[in-house]
């Protein structure tokens, strides 16, 4: 019986040590949730609320956000799909060569 008491005491100590020393993270989460969900957003689903709170808590601040990577990716994808579109339509060989030249020049400018 004595060994079982020690095991239970060790489990209790593990549980106590697993608890956070402060409730700051919980308070921050509830504060973010309160800012996101208000009277005008009363019908928001739980999944949407969870996603928005996670973004609010985990995303870098807007002051630190650098949109250059996203803009570059958008431009490359747009040019690629435009190039595929040009390939699918019937255009004369001369126009095709000009469009291909322009797209290649844009790729060189981007990279």
Per-domain boundaries in the chain: 2-58, 68-110
- Residue 85: what pLDDT? 65
Q: Is it the case that residue 1 has pLDDT exceeding 60?
A: no
**What confidence tens digit (pLDDT) does each residue in 48-103 have?**
888 888 888 888 777 887 888 877 777 777 766 766 666 666 555 566 666 677 77
Supply the DSSP string of the chain, one letter for each residue. Answer: -HHHHHHHHHHHHHHHHHS-S--HHHHHHHHHHHHHS-GGGTT--HHHHHHHHHHHHHSPPTTT--THHHHHHHHHHHHHHHHHHHHHS---HHHHHHHHHHHHHHHHHH-
Whether pTM exceeds 0.85: no
pLDDT tens, residue by residue, 24-35: 787 888 888 888
How high is the pLDDT of residue 87?
Answer: 64
């Amino acid at each position: 019986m004595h060994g079982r008491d020690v095991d239970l005491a060790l489990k209790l100590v593990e549980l106590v040590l697993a608890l956070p020393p402060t409730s700051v993270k919980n308070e921050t989460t509830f504060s973010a949730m309160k800012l996101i969900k208000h009277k005008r957003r009363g019908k928001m689903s739980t999944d949407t609320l969870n996603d928005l709170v996670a973004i609010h808590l985990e995303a870098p601040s807007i002051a630190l956000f650098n949109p250059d990577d996203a803009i570059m990716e958008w431009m490359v994808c747009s040019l690629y799909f435009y190039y595929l579109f040009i390939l699918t339509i019937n255009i004369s060989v001369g126009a095709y060569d000009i469009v291909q030249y322009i797209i290649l020049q844009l790729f060189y400018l981007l990279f």
